Amino acid sequence: MRNRIPLTNLKKGETSKVAELSTSLNGAERRRLLDLGIVPGFDITYLYPSPLGEPKAFRILDSEIALRKEQTEKIFIESEG
């Protein structure tokens, strides 16, 4: 069975599927994430943290994007278990 966990829990180098966006994400912030390709069913890979630890770099589709912790806590991914 698949569980849903925050993107924050993804380890460096791991890939998972986007499961859903939090209902607390709305307006321009939600639209920006959707425009970047953070859509349920798409793969997302945690590439590396910035030198200061935040933001973190992720690959989605063919793009590399940076997300802050407060954003990754509102993006849910699929997890085995």
What pLDDT does residue 53 have?
85
Do residues 44 and 54 make contact, with C-beta atoms less than 8 angstroms apart?
no
What pLDDT does residue 81 have?
57
Give the model confidence (pLDDT) of 9-62 as tens digits. Answer: 999 999 999 999 999 998 999 999 999 999 999 999 999 999 988 999 999 999
Ordered structural domains, the chain, with CATH: 2-80 (2.30.30.90)
